Chains A and B, each alone.
Chain A
């Protein structure tokens, strides 16, 4: 695949679609078009079970007509499809409710991000994928007690173009290798909870060692859960892994600083700019240009340029996040991350994980949260998977059937202690582990 040629082709398609929309009566139109190809080796039931190829593309269009909005999409670029999709989008718009705040992004310049397209990756043969997958599986199953329910290695290449009738025209292209493993450890009648890890890389050089590292880490995590016993119930300290920090602490903050929720009266932070909303140890920011993160982008889905920004600095709320629509409603400017941060970062602390495990007693540490969090109230409750209990810093071994419950906004006000190391689980974010107090821990043994 030649990314430049494919980009040019998609740009032409976008221009044609916008022209068709205007010709059909749209006042404004936005189009998003993409093309991609992939090859995948899949492992299930402790054996290889599928090799698959995919190639596809398509586009979606949003139209505004008499201040009404409609949208449609299809997985082809044929002329008939373009005409039909434009007709459908306008049909939805015709019966929609007029909204004077509808708008589209203005033409902008975007920063050039580092290249993330590796021609070698785009053309990686299925045989080479299979060899990588074999190595990954062998690394995960070096201990016979590890059972893999599923795993895959997939290479993909894609091009994405957006354009609107105000002159926005932006594109990006990239390749990636994505790998994933899910499994459990089994020793006699002892079956651990399942766990999974995944990661990605844009480029071929060095990828094999990253793949093997992920596999080894999963095996280590699974084996550490063998012999788990129910813990005991208490209210106290929990060491949150990065994935739970994201889900339990950061996602609720984002919910309340998104412009759409502010304009709809759903936010508790609508009047909190400049106010303290969290512990001074919380500095939360968005870096949309960190290419090691999956959300890395120079432009938002609407075509607004992205930029790095502090969301919460030493506990003080610094900004709200606005889309084009919410900005028009609220009389602000779109921030390029109206749906949430592209590259969430949380500042690390100064204490090691080992130190944090000794910092409170009893203390529950876990690797995965399986539960719910209500972003509106901040109430959360769910299972702490891959748990270990520490008493006076001493490891009491793995625990199971243990639930945690609490409230995000109460926790944020407490003294949160960040680890000195940050984690980028699957390239989703860069977050430390966080020691929190005041969490209800309920055990099946109670």
Chain B
């Protein structure tokens, strides 16, 4: 397929990008001693993007024959010509650059293919039974396994010719406790780019069953936080969420061009000196991060982007288009979820660099605050205002951890909150690999970092 795409792309009179994409997802779910989900889904096809007279056209086909691909190019070119009638600012020509011409098969791809459906189902069922036995207060245990096998081959008319095969497995546990109107649920998740060994040796997989059960039981007696602006210590998953949702999206160049809060702030202070924040498809920290990527869907080799360096905003995240417009260098942030989707600017693995303090010392030096754990959902908007939910928090009084609280939501304005960071731990962990980023299309990403201490708004109860 790769040779055909390369040969077709080379003959085009305008910039054309051809992407063969095979996406195979398998999902298993066990609960109450039964299998509620056991299946697989396979999508494959070729996505075509054409840049004609400074305008983009896109088309796709599930037919892999040469004629069908050439017809799809014709439709993409026609679409681009139509768009050019309305588009005011034409996209400048891309600067020549070294595009990927390598073929990658990432670790774990063959390993996971070799593991039978029987063994995967057995792991899910055994874990469900084990979780159920952790406490008599657990009435339902739910265990999910999901894997995405991805094969992409990219060819562009200006020289990219590359392919990659990788797999991203995920494993999740959840326990339901209590009964009737007094019920609680707690969950854990881990996701990597890699095989079975990589998945189950991830730090977040350690004692997943025990931690899920313990939290589900303790939440039954947990109180609610009081609302207000507070000192909080965020665990790595929440730091990852902060990096991704509250900072990462505002520095995606398409959002910047629309007027996000990061627009015009390169070179200015947006965080405390302790904060250095990066995005990278090939990050320096090991553990098979869930957004690992050797090159993106424009054929650009992935490199590390330092977004914030010691508190100063240094760079945005680009695709080739935004890089050409803003005079920057693309570093591999263009991706599409499926063959029928066009590549857009996405984060890969977004993280804060660790500091020098031990977590124990950060807690010990906190007079009044919360240690917040377990990232739930998160949303942020162009102003940098964000909202995250966390599964629970622990009160800190005079440097000592206290009672557990539930239903914790955090909010703030990213660059304001980052200015308040006054402690950064030396521990580092990827912890968002089981999650997906939504931006019109889903994307597998990861995020993480150290523990940090900052001040932000905690949603909670007010006195009546």
A-side residues, CB < 8 A to B, are 39, 41, 44-58, 60, 62, 68-76, 85, 88-89, 91-97, 99, 126-127, 130, 133-134, 147-150, 183-184, 186, 191-194, 233-235, 264-266, 268, 370-372, 374, 376-377, 379-383, 385, 400-401, 403-406, 409, 438, 440-442, 444, 446
B109 interface residue (CB < 8 Å to A): no
Please name all residues of chain A whose beta carbon is closer than 8 Å to the beta carbon of B207 when the two chains form the complex: none
A-B contact pairs, 24 of them (CB 8 A): A47-B87, A50-B83, A69-B35, A74-B42, A96-B35, A96-B121, A126-B82, A130-B86, A133-B86, A149-B382, A193-B385, A194-B383, A234-B462, A235-B461, A265-B176, A371-B387, A372-B409, A376-B176, A376-B185, A381-B408, A401-B411, A405-B227, A438-B464, A442-B227
Contact assessment for B258 and A126 in the assembled complex, using a CB-CB cutoff below 8 Å = no
Contact assessment for B385 and A401 in the assembled complex, using a CB-CB cutoff below 8 Å = yes
Contact assessment for A381 and B382 in the assembled complex, using a CB-CB cutoff below 8 Å = no
Contact assessment for B35 and A97 in the assembled complex, using a CB-CB cutoff below 8 Å = yes
Contact assessment for A379 and B406 in the assembled complex, using a CB-CB cutoff below 8 Å = yes
0/1 interface trace, chain B 26-55, chain A, CB 8 Å (1 if under): 000011111101111111110000000001
B125 interface residue (CB < 8 Å to A): yes
Contact assessment for A99 and B56 in the assembled complex, using a CB-CB cutoff below 8 Å = no
Contact assessment for B83 and A97 in the assembled complex, using a CB-CB cutoff below 8 Å = no
Complex Cα–Cα for A379 and B409 (A): 11
Nearest CB in chain A to that of B256: its residue: A45
Q: A72-B40, A92-B40 are in contact. Are A184 and B462 (CB under 8 A)?
A: no
Contact assessment for B87 and A49 in the assembled complex, using a CB-CB cutoff below 8 Å = yes
Nearest CB in chain A to that of B83: its residue: A51
B184 interface residue (CB < 8 Å to A): yes
Contact assessment for B409 and A405 in the assembled complex, using a CB-CB cutoff below 8 Å = yes
Please name all residues of chain B whose beta carbon is closer than 8 Å to the beta carbon of A45 when the two chains form the complex: 254, 257-258
**Interface footprint category on B:** 35 or more
Nearest CB of chain B from residue A153's CB, rounded to whole Å: 11
Complex Cα–Cα for A44 and B33 (A): 48
Nearest CB in chain A to that of B228: its residue: A446
Please name all residues of chain A whose beta carbon is closer than 8 Å to the beta carbon of B316 when the two chains form the complex: none
Please name all residues of chain A whose beta carbon is closer than 8 Å to the beta carbon of B32 when the two chains form the complex: 264
B140 interface residue (CB < 8 Å to A): yes
Contact assessment for A235 and B83 in the assembled complex, using a CB-CB cutoff below 8 Å = no
Nearest CB in chain B to that of A189: its residue: B261
Known contacts A54-B59, A71-B38; 14 additional CB pairs below 8 A are A51-B58, A75-B42, A75-B43, A96-B35, A192-B383, A371-B389, A371-B459, A372-B389, A381-B389, A382-B459, A401-B457, A442-B460, A444-B229, A444-B412
Nearest CB of chain B from residue A306's CB, rounded to whole Å: 23
Please name all residues of chain B whose beta carbon is closer than 8 Å to the beta carbon of A51 when the two chains form the complex: 55-58, 79-80, 82-83
Complex Cα–Cα for A126 and B59 (A): 13
Please name all residues of chain A whose beta carbon is closer than 8 Å to the beta carbon of B121 when the two chains form the complex: 92, 95-96
B368 interface residue (CB < 8 Å to A): no
Complex Cα–Cα for A68 and B257 (A): 53
Q: A51-B82, A54-B60 are in contact. Are A374 and B407 (CB under 8 A)?
A: yes
B139 interface residue (CB < 8 Å to A): yes
Q: Which of B3-11, B95-103, B189-197, B373-381 contacts A (4 or more CB under 8 A)?
A: B373-381
Please name all residues of chain B whose beta carbon is closer than 8 Å to the beta carbon of A74 when the two chains form the complex: 41-43
Please name all residues of chain B whose beta carbon is closer than 8 Å to the beta carbon of A96 when the two chains form the complex: 35, 38, 121
B117 interface residue (CB < 8 Å to A): yes
Q: A127-B82, A376-B176, A381-B407 are in contact. Are A52 and B381 (CB under 8 A)?
A: no
Complex Cα–Cα for A381 and B464 (A): 16
B62 interface residue (CB < 8 Å to A): yes
CB-based A-B contact count at 8 angstroms: 256
Q: A265-B140, A440-B461 are in contact. Are A376 and B376 (CB under 8 A)?
A: no
Complex Cα–Cα for A39 and B60 (A): 11
Please name all residues of chain A whose beta carbon is closer than 8 Å to the beta carbon of B257 when the two chains form the complex: 45-46
List 9 A-B pairs, minimum CB-CB distance, nearest first.
A71-B39, A442-B227, A51-B79, A372-B389, A45-B257, A52-B58, A381-B459, A403-B459, A381-B409
Please name all residues of chain B whose beta carbon is closer than 8 Å to the beta carbon of A52 when the two chains form the complex: 57-59, 76, 79, 342
Nearest CB of chain A from residue B339's CB, rounded to whole Å: 9
Please name all residues of chain A whose beta carbon is closer than 8 Å to the beta carbon of B37 when the two chains form the complex: 71
Complex Cα–Cα for A88 and B149 (A): 15
Complex Cα–Cα for A48 and B379 (A): 26
B85 interface residue (CB < 8 Å to A): yes
Q: Out of B85, B259, B413, which one reaches A401, CB within 8 Å?
A: B413
Please name all residues of chain A whose beta carbon is closer than 8 Å to the beta carbon of B464 when the two chains form the complex: 235, 438
Complex Cα–Cα for A68 and B139 (A): 24
Please name all residues of chain B whose beta carbon is closer than 8 Å to the beta carbon of A92 when the two chains form the complex: 38-40, 117, 121
Nearest CB of chain B from residue A74's CB, rounded to whole Å: 5
Nearest CB in chain B to that of A99: its residue: B34
Nearest CB of chain A from residue B34's CB, rounded to whole Å: 5
Contact assessment for A446 and B227 in the assembled complex, using a CB-CB cutoff below 8 Å = yes
Complex Cα–Cα for A71 and B36 (A): 11
Q: A126-B79, A370-B387 are in contact. Are A53 and B58 (CB under 8 A)?
A: yes
Q: Out of B38, B45, B80, B185, which one reaches A56, CB within 8 Å?
A: B45
B61 interface residue (CB < 8 Å to A): yes
Please name all residues of chain A whose beta carbon is closer than 8 Å to the beta carbon of B387 when the two chains form the complex: 370-371, 382-383, 403
Contact assessment for A403 and B409 in the assembled complex, using a CB-CB cutoff below 8 Å = yes
Nearest CB of chain A from residue B323's CB, rounded to whole Å: 14
Contact assessment for A409 and B140 in the assembled complex, using a CB-CB cutoff below 8 Å = no
B286 interface residue (CB < 8 Å to A): no
Q: Out of B79, B89, B176, B461, which one reaches A53, CB within 8 Å?
A: B79
Please name all residues of chain A whose beta carbon is closer than 8 Å to the beta carbon of B229 when the two chains form the complex: 444, 446
Nearest CB of chain B from residue A332's CB, rounded to whole Å: 18
Complex Cα–Cα for A381 and B342 (A): 35
Contact assessment for A444 and B39 in the assembled complex, using a CB-CB cutoff below 8 Å = no
Please name all residues of chain B whose beta carbon is closer than 8 Å to the beta carbon of A55 when the two chains form the complex: 60-61
Contact assessment for B43 and A191 in the assembled complex, using a CB-CB cutoff below 8 Å = no
0/1 interface trace, chain B 316-330, chain A, CB 8 Å (1 if under): 000000000000000
Q: A47-B88, A51-B83 are in contact. Are A264 and B140 (CB under 8 A)?
A: yes
Complex Cα–Cα for A383 and B407 (A): 14
Please name all residues of chain A whose beta carbon is closer than 8 Å to the beta carbon of B39 when the two chains form the complex: 62, 70-73, 89, 92
Nearest CB in chain A to that of B439: its residue: A150
Nearest CB in chain A to that of B75: its residue: A53
Contact assessment for A70 and B61 in the assembled complex, using a CB-CB cutoff below 8 Å = no
B2 interface residue (CB < 8 Å to A): no
Complex Cα–Cα for A403 and B456 (A): 12
Complex Cα–Cα for A234 and B457 (A): 15
Please name all residues of chain A whose beta carbon is closer than 8 Å to the beta carbon of B183 when the two chains form the complex: 266, 268, 376-377
